[in-house]
Structure 1
Amino acid sequence: MHEAVLFLHSYWAYLVLLILIIATINAIAKFSNKKEFNAKDLRISLFALIVSHIQLLIGIVLYFVSPRFSLWTDPNVNVMKDSLTRLYLVEHPFTNILAIVFITMGWSKHKKKVNSTQKFKVISIFYGLGLILLLSRIPWDSWI
């Protein structure tokens, strides 16, 4: 089961990054050009929110089915002293959960704005922060 969930988590991440980059660039570009927020912009932002939440759920399942999870109880391993173990068991999950929180906050806050410029500004900031956090904790050496 671990291999299947790992495969799904790894390849779904490409979709998440692609859609999140598109949503962030779309919001920044339309904020800069003072465009109107339309149904297409709503769908792009919503799709980024949905695929990122699905990735979070897959990641949570992966976390608990991973053989690395048992390292928490191994008396011979200090999770916080081993950088690779710390990345997979602490930094990657915590930072990415925080990234999804920012994306969710951006989605929620944009709905309360009536002005298109303000909607794009909120999405740009929060989706951008989420994207930066996601990119910062991807285990690049094992992912690509």
Structure 2
Amino acid sequence: MYTGLLHTHALLRYVVLILLIVVIVRTLSGWLSGKPFKIIDDKLSLYAFISVHVQLLIGLILYFISPRVNWAAYETSEIMKDTEMRYWHIEHISVMIIGIAVITVGRILAKKALTEVKKHKLTFIFYTIGLIIILSRIPFPFTTVSRNWLPF
């Protein structure tokens, strides 16, 4: 179960990244050109919203069943001193929750916006900030704490 969830989590990150980038590009274009916020814009932002939340749920399950995250085996001071343990125990999960919360707030505010331009603007700003936050703690192969591009 752990391996299957880990592979799903690793592959779903690409779906999340692609959807967020598509939404960001479309909403920037719509904001700058004053285009109406179309049904496709709403659907794409919803799909991105759903995908980050599914990713969060899988991540939370992994957090509690992962052999990497074992609070009982270590003192907090040991975890904080070790870069990899600190990353998996604290940094990755907390930063991802913050990024997803930013996206969630953006989606809610955009849904309540009264003008089309405001919907584009709010979605662009909040989804971009959320994406930047998320990117800061994805374990890419070139980062200090890393994972392979593909989980196989």
TM-score (norm 1): 0.95
Q: What residue in structure 2 maps to residue 29 of structure 1?
A: 29
Of stretches 7-16 and 72-81 in structure 1, the one that deviates more from structure 2 is 72-81
Distance 1:105 1:57, change over 3 A: same
Instruction: After TM superposition, give the deviation of residue 143 of structure 1 in Å.
Output: 3.6
| Structure 2 match to 1:103 | 103
1:20 aligns with 2:56: no
Quick one: distance in 2 between partners of 1:12 and 1:79?
28
Shift of 1:38: 1.1
- Given that 1:16 and 1:52 are in contact with CA atoms closer than 8 Å, whether structure 2 keeps it comes out as yes
Residues 39-75 of structure 1: CA deviation (Å, up to 9, x unaligned): 11110111100111100000000101100122x2224
The CA distance in 2 between the partners of 1:28 and 1:63, in whole Å, is 34
Show CA shifts across 1:83-118 (max 9, x none).
111111111100000011011001100111110111
User: Any residues of structure 2 matched to 1:2-17 within 5 Å, and which?
Assistant: 2-17=2-17
- Which runs of 4 or more aligned residues in structure 1 lie more than 2 Å from their structure 2 counterparts after TM superposition? none
Tell me, which stretches of 5 or more residues in structure 1 are unaligned? none
The structure with the greater share of residues assigned to helix is 1
CA distance in 2, matches of 1:14, 1:57: 16
Equivalent position SS for 1:80:
helix
Q: In 1, are the aligned partners of 2:49 and 2:107 still within 8 Å (CA)?
A: yes
Is the CA contact 1:103–1:126 (under 8 Å) kept in the aligned structure 2? Answer: yes
Contact 1:37 1:120 in 2 (8 A): yes
Indicate the residue corresponding to 1:136 in structure 2: 136
Q: Is the 8 A contact 2:69 2:85 kept in 1?
A: no
Does residue 50 of structure 1 match 2:50?
A: yes
2:92 is equivalent to residue 92 of structure 1? yes
Specify every segment of 5 or more residues in structure 2 that has no aligned partner in the other structure, as ranges: 142-146
Corresponding residue pairs, total: 143
Q: TM-score, normalised by structure 2?
A: 0.90
Native 8 Å contact 2:9 2:55 kept in 1? yes
For 1:121, the equivalent position in structure 2 comes to: 121
